């Protein structure tokens, strides 16, 4: 399938959780459109690997080790990015963790981890870049929320709560940033077969005594469009949301999810 391309030459993107899955996809797509990219991740080796992939394809990127729960590390990474590339146009506050699936297994430490990375981490990431974008009176911020942020369920409860909080934070930040011409939107991916989702599928299938493929086939059948979200669906949307065509779209939660939001 051919994709619409946007020329982002001269633009700079900062991605958290860029070493894997959806964040990697965002980083690669921004670079493919000509943007310079700061690929950050808790796993610094993975971040550097994605930056190397971008460079090998002729793009411009730097890989930085960053824990989004660490405000000082974020500030340093933002400063290093601005020093290297001059400014930041697009922020992808994407890093996230899943946490425990079962209600009985949830510990106090799990709440700290999941809310610490998914909620506090998103907020600290946005805050680290906000004043820079406000001063420039331009910028695009995308948070990665989830269909799980709007659908109740008996599993992955801390994760659902964290993603609901990301959606509210995104709307609040959109109100703060709107007078400065900075847009803030959430992407709510449906089930996307990244390492996070595949390890969840593996564990759940084992518990149910079925194969991972059988579990995934059943999961896909319960999605109205009966297919998983492709990373390209998400990166295509991200590309649109940072384009000039989306300058008045803000405070929205956008779900390329095959109808997961509406399925039971
Ligand atoms: N895969 C899905 O089905 C799905 C659906 C909805 C939402 N999401 C969300 O998409 C985002 C990306 O997830 P993914 O599926 O690509 O998973 P993934 O596990 O492939 O990638 C997540 C990345 O985040 C990094 N990370 C974890 N903790 C971090 C921290 N404290 N600081 C910085 N980086 C950290 C990991 O090292 C990893 O590289 C997450 O916010 C996730 O909740 C995923």
Distance between CA atoms of residues 40 and 24, nearest Å: 10
Distance between CA atoms of residues 71 and 120, nearest Å: 10
* Ligand 1 centroid, distance to 212 Cα (angstroms): 20
Assess whether 132 and 212 both reside in one domain. Answer: no
Give the relative orientation of helices 231-241 and 21-32 as an angle to the nearest 10 degrees. 50
Assess whether 44 and 158 both reside in one domain. Answer: yes
Assess whether 44 and 63 both reside in one domain. Answer: yes
Distance between CA atoms of residues 104 and 97, nearest Å: 18
**Does residue 51 fall inside a structural domain?**
yes
Distance between CA atoms of residues 242 and 238, nearest Å: 6
222-249 pLDDT, tens digit each: 999 999 999 999 999 999 999 999 999 9
Four-CA torsion 253, 196, 262, 150, nearest 10 degrees = -50
List residues bridging with 184 in a β-sheet: 141
Mean per-residue pLDDT over the chain, rounded: 96
* Ligand 1 centroid, distance to 148 Cα (angstroms): 14
Query: Is the CB of residue 256 below 6 angstroms from any atom belonging to ligand 1?
Result: no
Tokens of 57: 């394809």
**Does residue 4 fall inside a structural domain?**
no
* Ligand 1 centroid, distance to 40 Cα (angstroms): 12
Residue whose CA lies nearest to ligand 1 atom number 14: 21
159-168 mean pLDDT: 98
140-159 mean pLDDT: 96
pLDDT above 80: residue 186 = yes
Domain of residue 176 covers 12-191+230-253
Assess whether 16 and 121 both reside in one domain. Answer: yes
88-108 pLDDT, tens digit each: 999 999 999 999 999 999 999
- pLDDT, residue 261, reads 79
Q: For a substitution probing ligand 1, which of 96, 113, 193, 258 has the most ligand atoms within 8 Å of its CB?
A: 96
Least reliable range by pLDDT among 60-64, 199-203, 260-264: 260-264
**Does residue 5 fall inside a structural domain?**
no
**Does residue 43 fall inside a structural domain?**
yes
Q: Residue 246 is part of a domain; what is its CATH number?
A: 3.40.50.720
19-34 pLDDT, tens digit each: 999 999 999 999 999 9
Phi, psi of 187 (to 5 degrees): -100, 130
183, 141 contact by CB (below 8 A)? yes
List residues bridging with 64 in a β-sheet: 40
Assess whether 154 and 219 both reside in one domain. Answer: no
pLDDT above 60: residue 251 = yes
DSSP state of 229: B
**Number of folded domains in the chain?**
2
Tokens 């709007």 sit on residue: 150
Distance between CA atoms of residues 25 and 238, nearest Å: 10
* Residue 2 Ramachandran class (φ > 0 left, ψ -120 to 50 alpha, else beta): beta
**Does residue 202 fall inside a structural domain?**
yes
**Of 84, 85, 91, which Cα lies nearest the Cα of 128?**
91
**Of 71, 122, 61, 130, which Cα lies nearest the Cα of 96?**
122
The DSSP H or E segment spanning 139 is strand 139-144
Assess whether 165 and 199 both reside in one domain. Answer: no
Tokens of 147: 């269909």
- pLDDT, residue 260, reads 77
Assess whether 125 and 82 both reside in one domain. Answer: yes
């Amino acid at each position: 399938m051919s994709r619409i391309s946007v020329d982002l030459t001269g633009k700079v993107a900062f991605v958290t959780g860029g070493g894997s899955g959806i964040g990697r996809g965002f980083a690669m797509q921004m670079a493919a459109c000509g943007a310079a990219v700061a690929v950050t991740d808790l796993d610094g080796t993975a971040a550097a690997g994605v930056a190397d992939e971008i460079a090998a394809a002729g793009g411009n990127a730097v890989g930085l080790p960053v824990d989004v729960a660490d405000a000082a590390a974020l500030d340093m990474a933002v400063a290093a990015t601005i020093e290297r590339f001059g400014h930041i146009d697009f922020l992808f506050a994407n890093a996230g963790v899943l946490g425990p699936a079962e209600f009985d297994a949830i510990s106090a430490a799990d709440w700290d981890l999941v809310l610490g990375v998914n909620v506090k981490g998103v907020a600290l990431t946005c805050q680290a870049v906000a004043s820079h974008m406000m001063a420039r009176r331009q910028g695009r911020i995308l948070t990665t929320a989830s269909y799980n942020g709007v659908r109740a369920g008996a599993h992955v409860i801390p994760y659902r709560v964290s993603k609901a909080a990301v959606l509210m934070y995104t709307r609040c930040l959109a109100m703060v940033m709107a007078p400065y011409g900075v847009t803030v939107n959430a992407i709510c991916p449906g089930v996307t077969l990244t390492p996070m989702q595949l390890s969840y599928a593996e564990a759940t299938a084992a518990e149910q005594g079925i194969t991972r493929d059988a579990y995934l086939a059943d999961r896909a059948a319960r999605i109205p469009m009966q297919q998983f979200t492709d990373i390209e669906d998400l990166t295509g949307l991200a590309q649109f949301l940072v384009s000039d065509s989306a300058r008045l779209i803000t405070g929205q939660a956008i779900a390329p999810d095959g109808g997961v939001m509406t399925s039971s």
